[in-house]
Amino acid sequence: MKDCARISRDGLAFALCEAEDFQGVVAQLNDPRQSASDAQRCCVALRTLLDAEVEEAALAEAQAAGTLDALLRCAALYSSHAGVQAASCWALNLYVHVAQHTEVASFPHVFQAAVAALKAHPLDVNVQRAALFALCNACCFGLEGTPSVPGLLDAIPHVLAALRAFPTDLRVQEFGCDSLARMCGMDASVAEAVAADGAMGHFLKALNLDITTDGTLVAAVNAIGAIALAPAALPQASAGINAVICALRSQDKNLFAEAACKALGIHLRCFATRDRARHLSADFVINATVAKHNADAKVQNAAKNALQDPVV
């Protein structure tokens, strides 16, 4: 509710669950007599309270009230209720986001709650969106404490199932690709498993969605880059390179250009895919991108790194 001068967060929280601070809402959420729909409202209220302008103060209050534990408990308790799952995942998202700079960010339980939500409601688009975003945030801000490789491997089929179930939903595609890309960055065996499960096809589809915003495209290109070095992705490397080059020719946004240069650079600097990338003129396209985005330092830097010699 940005720039809505006559709306207050505590007023909205009170409208949702008749409590206007973290203590009150968490007390309600922890009440065993609470119904699922009331729990859902409490989760929405907590998300509203966390979305404050002064994040540090909101986080301190949330921590004092035990918000994270209450949300995780609620998510586990109402695992069969889609509304609670979606609302709790959105609230957990924001908690992770707010907490990223102010504490030792480690959110393995958020990761597990998101995977549980993905498993429990595979055909509910709202749950899938919220859970994929939570997964993405947990990977992004909580690298230190993320689950071990088996935990990550357990999440992969469910993320791919979401990408398969909602092929035209931009947010599912964006958060799904992004979370897979981040998981691949944690361990090489995860990248191998993602590639072996046929993720490249989903990334290519996401890259070809005709959209006005570039979030999905950037996430898809990052994901293609993330599995580029996995042996299981080698047979489809040419398709990936070609798709990135085609998208790069039609898109002129800096963020996308930077991500595409990085993805092409991974292919160019890998001995196994270098010849294919050069055959498809990836180096020429990167040079053309440098000329086109000559005012953007990030694109220049990504292009410069991409054109370096192969990694031995």
> What is the rounded end-to-end Cα distance, in angstroms, of the chain?
51
CA atoms within 13 A on the CB side of 77: 18
Report in angstroms how near the CB of residue 41 gets to other proteins at its nearest. Answer: 8
Question: Is the CB of residue 231 less than 8 Å from the CB of residue 192?
Answer: yes
Nearer to other proteins, 213 or 281 (CB): 213
- 85: tokens are 């799952």
Report in angstroms how near the CB of residue 114 gets to other proteins at its nearest. Answer: 14
Measured between alpha carbons, how far is residue 255 from residues 40, 44, 215, 217, 244 in Å? 36, 32, 9, 10, 14
- Give the single-character DSSP code of 235: G
Nearer to other proteins, 37 or 308 (CB): 37
Amino acid at 244: V
Report in angstroms how near the CB of residue 88 gets to other proteins at its nearest. Answer: 9
- Give the single-character DSSP code of 53: S
Report in angstroms how near the CB of residue 216 gets to other proteins at its nearest. Answer: 10
Report in angstroms how near the CB of residue 37 gets to other proteins at its nearest. Answer: 6
Nearer to other proteins, 212 or 250 (CB): 212
Question: Is the CB of residue 90 less than 8 Å from the CB of residue 127?
Answer: no
Question: Is the CB of residue 238 less than 8 Å from the CB of residue 276?
Answer: yes
Question: Is the CB of residue 33 less than 8 Å from the CB of residue 1?
Answer: no
Nearer to other proteins, 95 or 245 (CB): 95
Binding site for other proteins (CB under 8 A): 1-8, 11-12, 14-16, 37, 40-41, 43-44, 47-48, 51, 83, 86-87, 90, 126, 130, 168, 170-171, 211-213
Nearer to other proteins, 48 or 289 (CB): 48
Nearer to other proteins, 81 or 267 (CB): 81
Report in angstroms how near the CB of residue 148 gets to other proteins at its nearest. Answer: 30
Nearer to other proteins, 7 or 104 (CB): 7
Task: Give Cβ neighbours of residue 44 (< 8 Å, ≥ 6 apart).
Answer: 16, 87, 90, 91
Amino acid at 53: E
Report in angstroms how near the CB of residue 154 gets to other proteins at its nearest. Answer: 25
φ, ψ of residue 57 to 5 degrees: the values are -65, -40
Q: Cβ atoms within 10 A of the Cβ of 30, count? A: 16
